[in-house]
């Protein structure tokens, strides 16, 4: 069962937690209990593939609420892409999580959330409209996941002129049940439109709205899988993960994996200049603030939602958090320099988010003994998604995947709209009639 981080007494089914998205008390959904995986699981781990690991972990976390044979089908369809470990230097590996359809690690979470919502909707045969405000990566991962779904319409809202060229193409070229609204405003305006729609009684009477935001528990659960999967490739007692962090979903996935029994020596959280979490780890004080724009834009978060889940997992014990997590932060210049240095020394090109994870690992290693540990940097996006930040020399070295190149050739279709709520509402109501 699931509970809210604000109230452990009321229990929710997985279905409730996924379809509601967020509990009414303003907390976040978490599994009521995270039971460690049994001895047998860990013994057999090195013979298991990704889908088998996914099946074991997810059925444990959702108490078999989806029958095993159904869940097996879901995980095989959802995680149908690879997560290769690339060796950078001795005992140091890059876990490439960007081989899904939109070339960022958000595919893991978004695809599973879509599969879970589709599964629960198919039994109720109710048509729902998913609203998603996006600053870039999330929207396309969500849209891709629902593409062609019979019971789901997706309406994406993105700020006109404020996403990268390739991100805009990914948002506006899908067609079918996906509509992209190009809002004349900022990401915050887009988010406000969505939030207003959710509390609009008139609208909610005529259509069934669902949110696909990053706080949905179905987006979080899959983010624990690849930690265990990476570990399965080594026969080693100690492992260190460096995690490029913004809203802290990826890191929270790792902490859940640890609760499941994964022997992690330390998690390293890598922040860019938006370092609210680094400061929290170091001082115990959580002081959210407005985000600032950096070249690792998916980590530009000033008030990370998943801090609530981390506090919940550690019963707000700051010392225990510090025992498990270190945090560091870096500026754009350091990140760019790291990208250039790694390209030169290892002939490997990081995107700006992953480069931040690399720097954090280096910083940790400069002051800690780690003789026997395997070090893994989670790579969160393909560098070709962020071409604008690279100089010409590096750009030439980056091979843009065929699918991304094709996306660039497709014709963009978007509906331009003001950030006025009544325009948005009228659009949704007219869509309902058509």
Ligand X SMILES: *Cc1c(COP(=O)(O)O)cnc(C)c1O
One of 140, 169, 216, 250 touching ligand X (CB under 6 A): 250
- Decide if residue 383 touches ligand X (CB under 6 A): no
What's the full length of the chain, in residues?
434
Q: Which of 62, 72, 54 is nearest to 32 (CA)?
A: 62
CB neighbour class for 317 (10 Å; exposed up to 12, middle 13-18, buried from 19): exposed
Q: Which is nearer to ligand X, 104 or 240 (CB)?
A: 104
- Decide if residue 192 touches ligand X (CB under 6 A): no
- Identify whether the C-beta of residue 298 lies closer than 8 Å to the C-beta of residue 109: no
Binding mask 340-379 for ligand X (x = CB under 6 A): -------------x--------------------------
Task: Name residue 2's beta-bridge partners.
Answer: 12, 31
How distant, in Å, are the alpha carbons of 10, 119, 336, 345, 383 from that of 339? 47, 41, 5, 10, 10
CB of 386 to ligand X, least distance (A): 8
- Using alpha carbons only, what angle is made at residue 351 by residues 134 and 191, rounded to the nearest 5 degrees? 10
CB of 134 to ligand X, least distance (A): 11
- Identify whether the C-beta of residue 406 lies closer than 8 Å to the C-beta of residue 172: no
CB of 338 to ligand X, least distance (A): 15
Q: Tell me which stretch binds ligand X (CB under 6 A): 118-126, 241-249, 339-347, 413-421.
A: 241-249
Instruction: Find where tokens 């179905």 sit.
Output: 218
| Distance, CA of 400 to CA of 387 (rounded, Å) | 9
One of 249, 262, 313, 343 touching ligand X (CB under 6 A): 249
Binding mask 201-240 for ligand X (x = CB under 6 A): ----------------------------------------
Which sign, positive or negative, has the C-alpha torsion 235, 236, 242, 246?
positive
- Decide if residue 245 touches ligand X (CB under 6 A): yes
One of 114, 381, 389, 404 touching ligand X (CB under 6 A): 381
- Using alpha carbons only, what angle is made at residue 324 by residues 322 and 329, rounded to the nearest 5 degrees? 65
CB of 412 to ligand X, least distance (A): 21
One of 3, 34, 56, 104 touching ligand X (CB under 6 A): 104
- Decide if residue 106 touches ligand X (CB under 6 A): yes
CB of 356 to ligand X, least distance (A): 8
- Decide if residue 19 touches ligand X (CB under 6 A): no
Chain residues 297-326 in contact with ligand X, contact rule CB under 6 A: 298-299
- Decide if residue 248 touches ligand X (CB under 6 A): yes
Q: Which is nearer to ligand X, 45 or 136 (CB)?
A: 136
| Distance, CA of 130 to CA of 296 (rounded, Å) | 27
One of 19, 177, 247, 329 touching ligand X (CB under 6 A): 247
Count residues binding ligand X (CB under 6 A).
15
Kindly give the residue spans of alpha helices, DSSP state H, lying in 11-136. 14-20, 39-44, 50-61, 68-78, 106-124
Q: Tell me which stretch binds ligand X (CB under 6 A): 125-133, 147-155, 184-192, 242-250.
A: 242-250
| Distance, CA of 171 to CA of 194 (rounded, Å) | 17
| Distance, CA of 41 to CA of 46 (rounded, Å) | 10
- Please report which helix (H) or strand (E) contains residue 243, including its range: strand 239-244
Q: Which residues contact 125 (CB under 8 A, 6 or more apart)?
A: 151
Q: Which is nearer to ligand X, 15 or 353 (CB)?
A: 353
- Identify whether the C-beta of residue 300 lies closer than 8 Å to the C-beta of residue 247: no
Chain residues 128-187 in contact with ligand X, contact rule CB under 6 A: 137
Q: Which is nearer to ligand X, 129 or 140 (CB)?
A: 140
| Distance, CA of 298 to CA of 293 (rounded, Å) | 10
Q: Tell me which stretch binds ligand X (CB under 6 A): 14-22, 88-96, 245-253, 282-290.
A: 245-253
- Please report which helix (H) or strand (E) contains residue 33, including its range: none
Q: Which is nearer to ligand X, 298 or 417 (CB)?
A: 298
Q: Which is nearer to ligand X, 55 or 83 (CB)?
A: 83
Q: Which is nearer to ligand X, 169 or 245 (CB)?
A: 245
CB of 174 to ligand X, least distance (A): 18
Task: Name residue 92's beta-bridge partners.
Answer: 89, 375
Given the rule CB under 6 A, which residues bind ligand X? 104, 106, 137, 244-250, 298-299, 353, 380-381
């Amino acid at each position: 069962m699931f509970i809210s981080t604000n109230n452990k007494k009321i229990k929710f089914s997985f279905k409730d937690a996924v379809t509601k998205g967020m509990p009414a008390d303003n907390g976040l959904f978490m599994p009521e209990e995270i039971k460690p995986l049994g001895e047998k699981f860990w013994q057999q781990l090195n013979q298991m593939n990704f889908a088998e690991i996914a099946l074991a972990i997810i059925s444990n976390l959702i108490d078999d609420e989806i029958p095993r044979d159904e869940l097996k089908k879901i995980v095989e369809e959802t995680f149908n892409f690879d997560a290769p470990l690339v060796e950078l230097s001795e005992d140091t590996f890059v876990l490439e999580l960007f081989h899904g359809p939109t070339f960022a690690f958000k595919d893991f979470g978004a695809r599973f959330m879509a599969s879970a919502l589709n599964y629960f909707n198919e039994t109720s045969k109710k048509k729902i409209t998913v609203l998603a405000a996006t600053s870039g990566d999330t929207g396309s991962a969500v849209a891709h996941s629902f593409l062609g779904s019979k019971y789901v319409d997706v309406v994406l809202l993105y700020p006109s002129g404020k996403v990268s060229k390739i991100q805009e193409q990914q948002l506006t070229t899908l067609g079918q049940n996906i509509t992209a609204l190009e809002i004349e405003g900022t990401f915050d305006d887009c988010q406000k439109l969505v939030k207003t729609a959710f509390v609009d009684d008139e609208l909610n009477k005529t259509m069934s709205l669902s949110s696909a935001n990053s706080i949905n528990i179905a987006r979080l659960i899959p983010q624990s899988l690849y930690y265990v999967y990476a570990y399965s490739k080594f026969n080693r007692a100690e492992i260190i993960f460096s995690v490029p962090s913004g809203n802290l979903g990826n890191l929270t996935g790792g902490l859940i994996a640890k609760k499941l029994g994964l022997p992690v020596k330390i998690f390293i959280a890598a922040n860019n200049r938006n370092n609210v979490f680094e400061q929290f780890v170091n001082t115990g004080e959580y002081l959210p603030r407005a985000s600032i724009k950096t070249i690792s834009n998916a980590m530009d978060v000033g008030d990370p939602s998943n801090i609530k889940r981390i506090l919940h997992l550690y019963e707000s014990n700051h010392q225990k958090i510090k025992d498990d997590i270190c945090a560091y932060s870096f500026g754009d210049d350091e990140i760019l320099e790291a990208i250039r240095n790694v390209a030169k020394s290892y002939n490997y090109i990081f995107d700006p988010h992953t480069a931040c994870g690399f720097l954090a690992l280096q910083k940790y290693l400069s002051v800690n003994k780690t003789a026997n540990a395997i070090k893994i940097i989670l790579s969160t996006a393909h560098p070709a998604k962020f071409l604008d930040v690279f100089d010409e020399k590096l750009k030439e070295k980056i091979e843009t995947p065929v699918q991304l190149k094709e996306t660039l050739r497709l014709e963009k279709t978007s509906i331009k709209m003001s950030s006025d709520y009544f325009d948005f509402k009228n659009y949704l109501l007219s869509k309902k009639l058509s």
